[in-house]
Structure 1
Amino acid sequence: MPEVIVEYQAEIWQSIGETFIMVGFSILAAVLVGLPLGTFLYLCRKDQILENQAVFSTLNLLVNVIRSFPFLLLVVFMIPFTRWIVGTAFGTTAAIVPLTVIAIAHYSRLVEQSLLDIPKGVMEAAISMGASAKDIIFKFLYVEARSGLVLGLTTSTISFISYSTIMGVVGGGGIGDFAIRYGYQNFRTDLMFYMIFIMVILVQLIQYTGITVARKIDKR
């Protein structure tokens, strides 16, 4: 093991843990809030079972605005809200707030796109069979779109890892922040590249897992 890794071993493990915490909460928010929000966006579209142009336009605009923000500016913009929610604007806990907001907006849009890819005949068949809204969602839409939903979550997770590298501006820590503070700013290029290597391996593992799962559950 290189000497530099031994020297910073404790800090490296701490940064990895901070990244997992931030990304983990982002994934949780994406699934628990982003998935229903994206589904609701789809169902409120024209000619869908919950068609409501006012609701759709409002939610669509909100998602677009959040996704349009450069993430660093979003973090700074949300500092007062973050402080109100968690009592502080500094640290890993504070970093979770803007990350969950962008996670919800990011994944909800991918969910909507996955559902839009479902053939119209599926919805027509469900309606003709007298299926309730709940049955349409869980027994038809999610079943048909399951592969796309998994791939969307995989893509989102990789984006969350990228976003987490910015959280050093609010003391969120993480692998990216460690690479900048201990590597780049201290002219320890070897340490910086080691942390980049860790992130590359992490992203590759997530991508491989997501593609494998999506392929296995895709019965089309």
Structure 2
Amino acid sequence: MSTQTRPRDAGVTLIEVLVAMALFAVVGSVLLGFAVSTSRVTDQTRSMTLVSEETRLAMERFTRELRQASEVLHVALPPATGGGTALTFWTDFNGNGRQDLGAADPEVLTYRWTPTSRQLTLTANDASGTATTLPVLAAAVSDFGIDLRSSSWQYDADGDGITTWREVDASAGNDNGVPDSATELRHLDLVVVWITATDDIHEQSYHTQVDLRNRTVD
């Protein structure tokens, strides 16, 4: 009488199941971490792109309007680095030779940066003549500044090839350490501008020099 061994039922053991589950858990954790990391990088890239594009457009708008300025009316520079800055200028958009304060396309513009609020704003009259102030950027502006210069080389006291507003103030202005008199402002036709915007993670900076091409320097 022959004895035959019955084949074992096909399947997997408990140990094999546990090993497979452990492997799947490891692979799943790796894939999940990769997906989260990719999503975070994508969000950061998108945020950085938005800040960069918005800052670039704001700088282009400011420099375009400033380049056409017929006259610089008022300047407020900070007494120390990081202080508030403001620049008011008149741009004769319609070419009539007058400051149209209540025009639909306002001609007297004030750009102002307030470090406490980290906002760069534009103040101009609306069609009814009412002064309106709006932020230029949605992103926070961590730094904004201007430096005024002149192409009147005769006032370049130190002979370094750059006529600063301080040299104009001392030679042709009231020598009070502030670019505030109409006489000295008439000599200032070059404006260096820098701006840094941030979303508190990324920063984007731009720096340029604007030639006020419609100015006639004495």
Is the pair's TM-score, using the shorter chain for normalization, greater than 0.5? no
Give the TM-score taking structure 2 as reference length: 0.30
Which structure carries more helix by proportion? 1
Q: Which has the higher contact order (CA 8 A, sep 6+)?
A: 1
Give the TM-score taking structure 1 as reference length: 0.30
Bigger Rg, which one: 2
